[in-house]
Every structure is written in C-alpha cells, then in structure tokens.
Amino acid sequence: MKVVTVRDFRDHASEMFRSEDVILITREGSPAGFFLPWDTPQLPVEVRREVFLRLSEQIGGELAASGTTEQEVLDDFAADRGRR
C-alpha cells in the first residue's frame, strides 16, 4: 500500500489512477481516504448502498449546520437549470 498526502494525490492523480496499488491518502498525517483500484464495471450493491448512506449523512449534516432547507437546494438547482 502506498501512502500519499492529499496534495500529492491531487498533483499526481492521473498516474495514481493507473496504479494497481491501494493508496492511503493522508491529511496532516491522519488518514483522509483510500484509493482502491477497481477493474470491474459494476460496484457490488453493498458498496453502492454504503456510499449512498455516507454521502446522504454528510450532506444532511452540512445542510443542517448551514441552516439550508431541502427546498432551498431544489430551488437553487431549478434556478441554475433556468440559466442554461
């Protein structure tokens, strides 16, 4: 397993995406995430479910912390679509 900083991962992402190694990405010396090479076109349903749940929790927390409502987000998307 390779260990790289967020900055190194960002600066060398295209070559790291070609790597077959698992890469631990660190921020200020602490784990921030992993890059796992994937060679199959579909993610297992368990992985997709976990990703969806984590993203939902994170987005919900950020919305609550900022005081933004779901309707405000939907209105913002609608306004953006109208500008295109």
Domain boundaries, the chain: 1-39, 40-84
What tens digit of pLDDT does each residue of 15-73 get?
999 988 999 999 999 999 999 888 778 888 998 899 889 989 988 888 899 999 989 98
Tell me what pLDDT residue 40 has.
79
d(CA 25, CA 33): 5
Tell me what pLDDT residue 49 has.
92
Query: 0.75 exceeded by the pTM?
Result: no
Asked if pLDDT for residue 9 goes beyond 90, the answer is: yes
CATH of 1-39, one of 1.10.1740, 3.40.50, 2.70.50, 3.40.1620: 3.40.1620
Closest CA to 26 of 10, 3, 53: 3
Q: Which amino acid is located at 58 in the chain? A: Q
Asked if pLDDT for residue 78 goes beyond 80, the answer is: yes
d(CA 18, CA 12): 10
